[in-house]
Amino acid sequence: MSGFSVAWLDLRERADNAARDKALAAQALSWLTADEAAMPIIVDLGSGTGSTLRALSLVGASPARDSPRSPDGDLVWRLVDHNPALLNEALRRHGKTHVIEDHEADLLDLATLPLTGARLVTASALFDLVSLSVVDALTARLVQHRAGLYAALNYDGTTTWTPPHPLDGHVLAAFNQDQRKDKGLGLALGPDAGDYLQMALTRAGYTIWVADSPWTLGPADAALVRELIPGIANAVAEGYGLDTHALQEWKDFRMAHAATGRCVVGHQDVLALPTT
Ligand SMILES: C[S@@+](CC[C@H](N)C(=O)[O-])C[C@H]1O[C@@H](n2cnc3c(N)ncnc32)[C@H](O)[C@@H]1O
């Protein structure tokens, strides 16, 4: 998969940050920093340009959070991605302020992922892209290292548009089917990612917390919505039985309302910690 540009990741980050459940993120940080004897290692899978690092740094800096550790300088961030351009951008943005180890690696090579010493593994907007067997293999490695998992922003299959359009339901059903196609990491879990993570990690003896983290997009997010709409329309254009003219009409309607309408895209955040 090569389709994630710095520009697209930047465009979605404001919505991601607003959506992320802050209590769950703070709980993940508390677990990470609870062992005061060690400098905690956090491994971010599919790190992109470092959005999880930025999000957890913000949560860690919140005055509401009661921890003796700074969220930045006292952590080792291992950023793992197969796209060197994204890793370089993460280093450019954070290399001077954070302790970063960048690892160019394919998440399919799970056995070689650098989890040694990790207390927490994180991922944002990743698990809906991966297959069931990637989750199973990662779970086995988490157990082996007694590491926690904080998996934020897993698409849950729901999207609600305002104003509504008669084709919304058909487009969503087709899009959710498309979300289950192989995106480079095996047949994708798509909307089932949150549920499957919970099941696999519960089975492995972890304690699970879950929170909804929907994108709630309004006029301030028009630029993101204007990218989202053609992305959805392209994904469902072929193979799902949607009439080409009807789909074009849906797209035109949605674009016409991009700056004034609303769109809620459901996600789930999952935190799984080893049961002590
Ligand atoms: C939706 S983006 C999320 C990026 C980042 N976590 C964020 O929230 O901005 C998915 C990320 O997974 C990475 N990725 C996709 N397939 C991968 C693979 N097979 N191995 C390693 N990284 C992969 C992409 O390069 C991209 O950075």
Predicted confidence (pLDDT) per residue in 138-148, tens digit = 999 999 999 99
Mean pLDDT across 176-205 = 97
pLDDT value at residue 85:
98
Give domain limits for the chain: 6-158+186-216+265-274
Model confidence at 86: pLDDT above 90 = yes
Mean pLDDT across 32-57 = 92
The strand ranges marked E within 116-169 are: 118-124, 148-162
User: Which amino acids bring their CB within 6 angstroms of ligand 1?
Assistant: 1, 4, 9, 16, 46-48, 51-52, 81-83, 86, 106-108, 124-126, 184-185
Residue pair 179/141 in contact by the 8 Å Cβ criterion: no
Residue 81 Cα to ligand 1 middle (Å) = 6
pLDDT value at residue 63:
60
Please state which architecture CATH assigns to domain 6-158+186-216+265-274.
3-Layer(aba) Sandwich (3.40)
- Check: pTM over 0.85? Answer yes or no: yes
Residue 45 Cα to ligand 1 middle (Å) = 7
C-alpha–C-alpha distance, residues 211 and 262, integer Å: 22
Per-residue b or e along 86-101, where b marks 16 or more CB atoms closer than 10 Å to that residue's CB: bbebbbeebeeebebe
Model confidence at 59: pLDDT above 50 = yes
Report CA-CA distances (Å) from 175 to 124, 168, 180, 242.
20, 10, 9, 11
pLDDT value at residue 67:
53
Q: Quick one: pLDDT band at residue 60, thresholds 50, 70, 90?
A: confident
Mean pLDDT across 134-158 = 97
Mean pLDDT across 30-36 = 87
- Shortest-distance atom of ligand 1 to CA 123: 6
Model confidence at 71: pLDDT above 70 = no
Instruction: List the residue whose alpha carbon is closest to atom 27 of ligand 1.
Output: 48
pLDDT value at residue 61:
73
C-alpha–C-alpha distance, residues 200 and 19, integer Å: 24
- Shortest-distance atom of ligand 1 to CA 44: 6
Which of 61-65, 71-75, 265-269 is predicted most confidently? Answer: 265-269
- Shortest-distance atom of ligand 1 to CA 2: 25
Model confidence at 184: pLDDT above 60 = yes
**Which has more confidence, 65 or 242?**
242
Residue 163 Cα to ligand 1 middle (Å) = 32
C-alpha–C-alpha distance, residues 175 and 192, integer Å: 13
pLDDT tens digit sequence for 170-183: 999 999 999 999 99
Mean pLDDT across 85-111 = 96
pLDDT value at residue 36:
76
C-alpha–C-alpha distance, residues 173 and 158, integer Å: 9
Q: Taking the CA of residue 202 as centre, how many other CA atoms within 13 Å lie in the half-sphere pointing to its CB?
A: 10
pLDDT value at residue 101:
97
Residue to mutate, 82, 213, 267, ligand 1, most ligand atoms under 8 Å from C-beta: 82
Residue to mutate, 57, 79, 107, ligand 1, most ligand atoms under 8 Å from C-beta: 107
Model confidence at 8: pLDDT above 70 = yes
Instruction: List the residue whose alpha carbon is closest to atom 8 of ligand 1.
Output: 124
Distance of CA 166 to the CA centre of its chain: 30
Residue to mutate, 126, 134, 135, ligand 1, most ligand atoms under 8 Å from C-beta: 126
